[in-house]
Amino acid sequence: MANRSYEDLLEPRRNDFNIWLWSTRALNTQVAVKMRPRPNPDDHKLAVLNSLKISEIIEQIGAKSNMDRKAIERQLMLILDEVGYTKSLKVIRYLSYILSKLLLKVCSGVYVNYQGLLKIKSTMGNCPVIFVPSHRSYADFVIFSYVFFHYDIEIPAIAAGMDFQGMTGVGEMLRNTGAFFMRRSYGDDSLYWAAFKEYVHQLVCKGDLPVEFFIEGTRSRSNKSMVPKYGLINMILKSYFLSQVPDILFVPVSVNYDRLIEENLFSFELLGIPKPRESTSGFFRSWKLVKESFGSIYFHFGDPISTREFFEDKFDRSKHSLGPIHLHEINEEEKRLIPHLAYEIVRRQQISSVVSYFNLIALILNNNITRGQEFTGMEELAQEIRILRGTFRCWGATIFEQDIHSAIKDSLKVHQNLITVGENGKIGLVTNQISMGAVDARKLKGHSLSEATISYSVPFMMLQIYANPVLHYFIDGALIVVALRSTGRLNEDDLFKHFRNLRAIFSFEFVLLETWYKTYFEEALHRLSSQKIIARRNEQYEIFENNYFEEVLISSIQPFILSYYVVAEILQTLPEVVEEKLVLASAQKLLEEAISERKIFIHPYAMSLDTLGNCLSTLVRMGAAVKRRREGRVMLSINRESIGGLKSDLETYLPSFQVIKSFDIFVHIKSKL
């Protein structure tokens, strides 16, 4: 495989006679901020304990609860021990050895755009550096640290969810490699959150390690980007807004996999079967995966975003110069700026992703399935990959240069659990009869799907998981094509109105900030025109007929439109105040019935809880529903009229999809209601 911008960091290990010598080599690591003496992990905890901010909070809690100061301080120390990282070079060296052996066994390469990373390394030393990778797998943070160890960069302090704390031995091991632990949601424990925020503040202002966190907050089960969470980035940026550091560099990192270790679990989770709790025994059970092959992993380190340059003159830091600094918090004006940076990080993760050949194969097979065509043979597949590869590259994607036939062979070998080649040379999906055993119905997140549905659906879910990570390259083009298909011809202004509406409907599905809609629309128009998918005649845009890429655009978005339509439809029949879980379950139930009749093909991904949930988030953002927590349950109050509007919008776009017979699907779904 060739791409000169990337190097395979397993390559030198393959020829190492003694990996242990490499693991125990003398290290001369680059820190984020040069400091003498270097702070140690306990310094940060003590600094929190002694900070004026925390001192005041202790006083407030004492006054409210009548607890004495010493008792609150003891509570605080327990919190800090729960949160704080420790670091053991010995543990890191052992892990680097084990990981080398493991990666050599299961991966064909770990590719890194080393020039990008080395450039960042050379600029480190003067201000806090925050690495923000995409989050698709548990492997992300493990291999991330391995990459840093390889390039002699200090392993970052990493924000970790509490999920790992319960794993005997593993939690402490992660802590020893730099993990600091956080609760997953803002509760009402004011001491905890004050201590945690102050701890992060200390890491950023007084620490010398790079910091790493996952802005999406969780592994994306769909394998595509998720909307950013603002909590941790808020805490980090506070140091900048309050002028306590001159700048903060955010480095977006894209991590892509030929094959995800979690592909099976994620497919189940998308259907509603909850993830097993993280446990040490589960960790050891997962070792059976070492017998399998996972292809290559790609790390792309994007250009750092300087906070100072990003915000330029958008706000006035001098507002924080009056009064004691520990009394200052981020103000509303600053808070409003944060989503722009957060979305920019996600956008840069997306544009620096590496597209694998299996991503293309998944798109092609999905297109065949959706159009009700037979699966393709090898020659057709190679031809279609060639077309898609060319188009994707024109649209800015990085795809490694490789002979297409050997790329297909490698991909099918890595994904032999999902794809099979029949005696007739045609490609097909592997289906296994799945037995769910006793799944606790109370833990299900959606409808209790039958084993037959699950067995049928899992391979399709897996396939879509590999098509999803490339959708951001052409979602804007797909939405334009959808609008033109449903209307025939449109001038640019009207086409933009449709585009803006569709973009807003799918704003959680395909992450994009509203202020960028116009730019993305214009870029997509240009790309579609230069690829001869659409044409402009007499000031009107229309579609060129018989363009293969147009088919792919339309088929790739179809399961999403279907899910949204079903939610809108079902909300017309459910009570106006309804539990969120019931909406998800009802939508899945309806789709399950339609799928199991097999009269027409309905892509099982339409049952994805991720997509159905995104639709509900859209409804809340649009004001068509209000979300409230009541006695531990999430309730939705529905505005039927607004939802009716969304439903009729979706209907406008759908019936004219002659090519994919969507109309049949909708008539069919309706008849089930």
Ligand X SMILES: O=C(CO)COP(=O)(O)O
Ligand Y SMILES: CCCCCCCCCCCCCCCC(=O)SCCNC(=O)CCNC(=O)[C@H](O)C(C)(C)COP(=O)(O)OP(=O)(O)OC[C@H]1O[C@@H](n2cnc3c(N)ncnc32)[C@H](O)[C@@H]1OP(=O)(O)O
Binding site for ligand X (CB under 6 A): 138, 161, 163, 218-219, 275
Residue 505 in the binding site for ligand Y (CB under 6 A) = no
Length of the chain equals 673
The least CB distance from residue 11 to ligand Y, in Å, is: 17
Using CB under 6 A, which of 145, 202, 350, 368 touches ligand Y?
A: 145
- The whole-angstrom separation of Cα 174 and Cα 159 is 11
The least CB distance from residue 417 to ligand Y, in Å, is: 26
Nearer to ligand Y, 230 or 395 (CB): 230
Using CB under 6 A, which of 186, 318, 432, 435 touches ligand Y?
A: 186
Nearer to ligand X, 277 or 291 (CB): 277
Q: Which of ligand X, ligand Y, none interacts with 275 (beta carbon under 5 to 8 A by kind)?
A: ligand X
Residue 589 in the binding site for ligand Y (CB under 6 A) = no
The least CB distance from residue 623 to ligand Y, in Å, is: 14
Please say whether the beta carbons of 643 and 471 come within 8 A: no
Helix ranges (H only) for 68-133 are 69-83, 89-106, 114-123
- The whole-angstrom separation of Cα 427 and Cα 422 is 6
Using CB under 6 A, which of 132, 158, 248, 660 touches ligand Y?
A: 158
Footprint of ligand Y on 312-351 (CB under 6 A): 335, 338-339
Find the helix packing angle between 471-487 and 492-505, rounded to 10°. 120
Nearer to ligand X, 45 or 221 (CB): 221
CA angle 33, 36, 40 (to 5 degrees): 80
Task: Determine the interface stretch with ligand Y among 223-231, 382-390, 463-471, 605-613 (rule: CB under 6 A).
Answer: 223-231
- The whole-angstrom separation of Cα 310 and Cα 490 is 36
Q: Which of ligand X, ligand Y, none interacts with 92 (beta carbon under 5 to 8 A by kind)?
A: ligand Y
SS (H, E, C) 137-158: CCHHHHHHHHHHHHCCECCCEE
Sheet holding 625-630, edge to edge: 577-579, 633-638, 625-630
Residue 131 in the binding site for ligand Y (CB under 6 A) = no
Residue 311 in the binding site for ligand Y (CB under 6 A) = no
- The whole-angstrom separation of Cα 204 and Cα 51 is 15
Number of residues in contact with ligand Y under rule CB under 6 A: 33
Footprint of ligand Y on 94-113 (CB under 6 A): 95-96, 99
The least CB distance from residue 98 to ligand X, in Å, is: 19
- Closest by CA position to 652, among listed 527, 568, 546: 568
Residue 159 in the binding site for ligand Y (CB under 6 A) = yes
Residue with tokens 């209307």: 487
Tally the C-alpha atoms within 13 A of residue 263's C-alpha that lie toward its C-beta.
Answer: 22
- The whole-angstrom separation of Cα 600 and Cα 661 is 9
Nearer to ligand Y, 179 or 412 (CB): 179
Please say whether the beta carbons of 670 and 617 come within 8 A: no
The least CB distance from residue 313 to ligand Y, in Å, is: 19
- The whole-angstrom separation of Cα 221 and Cα 262 is 9
Distance of CA 379 to the CA centre of its chain: 33
Closest residue to bound ligand Y by CB: 231
Using CB under 6 A, which of 6, 131, 149, 564 touches ligand Y?
A: 149
Nearer to ligand Y, 143 or 553 (CB): 143
Nearer to ligand X, 218 or 280 (CB): 218
Please say whether the beta carbons of 578 and 527 come within 8 A: no
The least CB distance from residue 185 to ligand Y, in Å, is: 3
Using CB under 6 A, which of 77, 142, 421, 429 touches ligand Y?
A: 142
Using CB under 6 A, which of 39, 161, 644, 645 touches ligand Y?
A: 161
- The whole-angstrom separation of Cα 61 and Cα 64 is 5
* Residue 329: φ, ψ to 5°: -130, 170
Which stretches of the chain bind ligand Y, using CB under 6 A? Answer: 92, 95-96, 99, 141-142, 145-146, 149, 155, 158-161, 174, 177-179, 182, 184-186, 213-214, 217, 229-232, 234, 335, 338-339
